[in-house]
Each structure stands twice: as structure tokens, then as C-alpha cells.
Copies of this chain bind each other. A is one copy, B any other.
């Protein structure tokens, strides 16, 4: 069985920037939660949208969270994953929000109002791939350009 191989910072960032859907983990009084969520990457931060009454807004703002993206090939029993960790914050400055919307606005697939912009500036970024003999970036189905305004 293959051993996991650590990805470089550059590879981690490239994989993060190629995806549009990840999973955020945050702690609540009743323990950890995981939530799949659409995101974008602007500058050195993950940007998400949420609603003020969500579990994420209630327990996931201004705290340390973990955010994961992965690409899994079941048939080959291989894959890669990238985890970003750091503190989140709500973007309240209109100039910063305008910058985010100009560069790469997060586009939730799900309907519903999500007026809050949540930013995760990663302090840690690490990743692994299972089996060294393939290039995740060349296989991943998603490219950032897919989410750009048309």
C-alpha cells in the first residue's frame, strides 16, 4: 500500500485555488461540526458566504477553524487533501467586500440569502497525496475559471 506524500505549500495553494467546494470544521458547545461549503480564494484567504442565523455564523466566526478540500479517485484508491487552519472573521469593510467581489466572489450552489462574507486567513496550510506517481492538479475537474463571472 502506498504511503502518503506531503504536498508543498505551492501545491496546497494551487489545489485550494482550483476547488470551489470544501468542508469547514468548527467547534460548538455540543462538540465539533463539519459543513460542506462553497468558497473562493482571494489573496491569501478563503472566502465563504453564510447567513447570520446559521450554525457557522453562530459558532464559527472569530475562532480557529479547519477547512478541507480533497480530490478522491475511488477506482484507484488514491487521492489528495489540503487542510487550511486559522481564525475566521466577518468582512465588514465595504472596500474589502468590493475587492473580494471583484477578484473572485464565492458562489454558493444552494439558494437562500447569505449576506455574511466569512474570511479565513490561513495560518497553516498543509496537504498530502496518496501515492506519489500522479498529479492531482492535472486530474481535478474544477478550475477557478469556472466560477468567474461570465
Stretch of A9-17, A40-48, A75-83, A97-105 with 4 or more beta carbons under 8 angstroms from chain B: A75-83
Residues in B with CB closer than 8 Å to A132 are none
In angstroms, Cα B93 to Cα A94, docked, is 58
Given known contacts A110-B130, A111-B2, A142-B74, is B34 in contact with A68 (CB within 8 Å)?
Answer: yes
B25 close to A109 (CB less than 8 A):
no
A66 close to B32 (CB less than 8 A):
yes
A74 close to B25 (CB less than 8 A):
no
Render A1-32 as a binary contact track against B, CB cut-off 8 A, 1 for contact.
11110000000000000001101011100111
CB distance from A65 to the nearest CB of B (A): 6
B74 close to A110 (CB less than 8 A):
no
Interface size, chain A (Cβ < 8 Å):
42
In angstroms, Cα B33 to Cα A67, docked, is 8
CB distance from A82 to the nearest CB of B (A): 10
Chain B residue nearest to A86 in the complex (CB): B31
CB distance from A126 to the nearest CB of B (A): 11
Judged by a CB distance under 8 angstroms, whether A121 is at the interface is no
What are 24 residue pairs bridging A and B, where the CB atoms are less than 8 Å apart in the complex?
Answer: A2-B110, A21-B72, A21-B74, A21-B79, A23-B34, A25-B33, A25-B34, A30-B64, A31-B63, A31-B64, A31-B66, A31-B85, A32-B64, A32-B65, A32-B85, A33-B66, A33-B83, A34-B34, A34-B66, A34-B68, A36-B79, A36-B81, A75-B141, A109-B130
